[in-house]
């Protein structure tokens, strides 16, 4: 299988797998004071340090969760004040952010939504306009999961600070692929997930800037300094720490190498396939992500056909897979529903090879050609 769906999930790095195997022996409860408990606690705190280093944070500002969705919920729902006020997000946010905002709207908050431009870029001036008149929260993803667009979070965080609003960014797709530094970004809250950077599933983290008050997401014991009750996932947390350490060490080299492969893939597909267009190709993007619109071809049908050909791609967000609705992010960019249904996402990783890219391009071109011919009207 040629795996080009790394924005959905990544292969666990072999070094992370070793860390996971070793952590399986840390059976003690991290809250216990005996030796076995202290071993588990020490491993968790070492992992916390590694995650903090990846994003330029202090260790005490990192809280472990079950993944990006929970981190987003913890950040957004944890800010809810009394009385309700205005909240602002982009129209391209992950479903976990959009759904958390929807809950706040049901509780009385007024929502402002800023859509990205058709180019894929996000206009920070439009975010400033949405913040005008006062807001308490703005959430802008650092990198879009569907077409890879990188948004100007730093100036938006400055605008939020001036408006007295808390700024959250979903950095799940960005971490490990581009530089992420919470001090440079100026954000108050930042979400991460291990399985997007060659770590295990079921573990993530939330950065909470020191001094920012959040309501606890999960009541219970005193774990994660009372932010999230429940016995910590020691094995998963250790795996995330190892993944963060490796991502930090390899970031520059991996980003450059993957971008070359991504560009090679796009050139090959476009050269072999007429009426195909890269979505958001004129704006800043993640180095590993390419979303391509194939005119006259259903993205769902193409993804299924490619799977049978041994190429794994996706249509929209994996978390919305199976939904009959087209991608909200692509619609927010101004695409019609029909256009949005014709987009396929290709996302690479450090494990993708030139040979795989070339073979995948050929299979994509052949599949698109065959599908178009099958639906072309017969000539009398």
Statement: residue 318 has pLDDT above 70: no
pLDDT digits (tens, 9 = 90+) for 331-345: 999 999 999 999 999
Report the 10 Å Cβ neighbour count for 59. Answer: 14
> Can you spell out the DSSP letters for 12-63?
PPHHHHHHHHHHTT--S-TT--SHHHHHHHHHHHHHHHHHHHHHT--GGGEE
Q: Determine the CATH number of domain 2-8+251-374.
A: 3.90.1150.10
Q: How far apart are the first and last CA of the chain?
A: 41
| Predicted local confidence at residue 261, as pLDDT | 98
The residues of the chain that CATH labels 3.90.1150.10 are 2-8+251-374
Using one digit for the tens of pLDDT, what is the confidence trace for 122-179?
A: 999 999 999 988 899 999 999 999 999 999 999 999 999 999 999 999 999 999 999 9
Specify the CATH number for 14-246; select among 3.40.630.30, 3.40.640.10, 3.40.50.1220, 1.10.357.10. 3.40.640.10
How many whole angstroms separate alpha carbon 94 and alpha carbon 196?
A: 14
| Interval 13-30 mean pLDDT | 96
302: pLDDT strictly greater than 70: yes
| CATH 3.40.640.10 residue ranges for the chain | 14-246
24, 319, 325, 370: the catalytic one is 319
Higher pLDDT, 260 or 226: 260
- What's the rounded mean pLDDT across residues 266-295? 97
Position 380 scores a pLDDT of: 47
The whole-number average pLDDT for the span 39-62 is 97
**Strand pairing partners for 14?**
none
Q: What is the pTM of this model?
A: 0.95
221 vs 88, higher pLDDT: 88
Q: pLDDT-derived band of residue 322, with 50, 70 and 90 as boundaries?
A: low
Q: Average pLDDT, whole number, for the chain?
A: 94
Mark whether 74 is an active-site residue.
no
pLDDT the model gives residue 378? 54
Nearest residue to 194 (alpha-carbon basis) of 132, 145, 238, 148: 238
């Amino acid at each position: 299988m040629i795996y080009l769906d790394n924005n959905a999930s990544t292969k666990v790095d072999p070094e992370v797998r070793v860390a996971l195997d070793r952590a399986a022996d840390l059976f003690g409860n991290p809250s216990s004071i005996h030796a076995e408990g202290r071993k588990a606690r020490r491993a968790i705190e070492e992992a916390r340090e590694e995650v903090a280093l990846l994003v330029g944070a202090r260790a005490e500002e990192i809280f472990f969760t079950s993944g990006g969705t929970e981190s987003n919920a913890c950040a957004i729902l944890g800010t809810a004040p009394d009385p309700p006020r205005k909240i602002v997000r982009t129209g391209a946010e992950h479903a976990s952010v959009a759904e958390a905002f929807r809950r706040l709207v049901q509780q009385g908050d007024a929502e402002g939504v800023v859509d990205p431009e058709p180019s894929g870029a996000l206009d920070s001036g439009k975010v400033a306009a949405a913040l005008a008149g006062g807001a308490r929260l703005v959430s802008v993803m650092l990198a879009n999961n569907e077409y890879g667009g990188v948004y100007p979070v730093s100036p938006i965080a400055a605008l939020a600070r001036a408006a007295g609003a808390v700024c959250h960014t979903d950095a799940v797709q960005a971490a490990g692929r581009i530089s992420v530094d919470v001090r440079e970004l100026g954000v108050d809250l930042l979400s991460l997930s291990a399985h997007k950077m060659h770590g295990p599933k079921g573990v993530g983290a939330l950065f909470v800037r020191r001094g920012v008050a959040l309501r606890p997401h999960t009541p219970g014991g005193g774990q994660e300094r009372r932010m999230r009750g429940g016995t910590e996932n020691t094995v998963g947390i250790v795996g995330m720490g190892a993944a963060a350490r490796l991502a930090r060490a390899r970031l520059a080299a991996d980003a450059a190498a993957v971008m070359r492969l991504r560009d090679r893939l796009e050139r090959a597909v476009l050269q072999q396939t007429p009426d195909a267009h890269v979505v958001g190709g004129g704006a800043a993007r993640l180095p590993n992500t390419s979303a391509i619109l194939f005119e006259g071809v259903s993205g769902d049908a193409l993804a299924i056909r490619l799977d049978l050909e041994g190429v794994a791609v996706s249509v929209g967000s994996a978390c919305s897979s199976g939904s009959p609705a087209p991608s909200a992010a692509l619609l927010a960019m101004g695409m019609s529903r029909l256009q949005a249904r014709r987009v396929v996402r290709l996302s690479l990783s450090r494990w993708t090879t030139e040979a795989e890219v070339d073979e995948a391009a050929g299979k994509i071109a052949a599949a698109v050609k065959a599908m178009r011919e099958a639906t072309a009207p017969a000539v009398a």
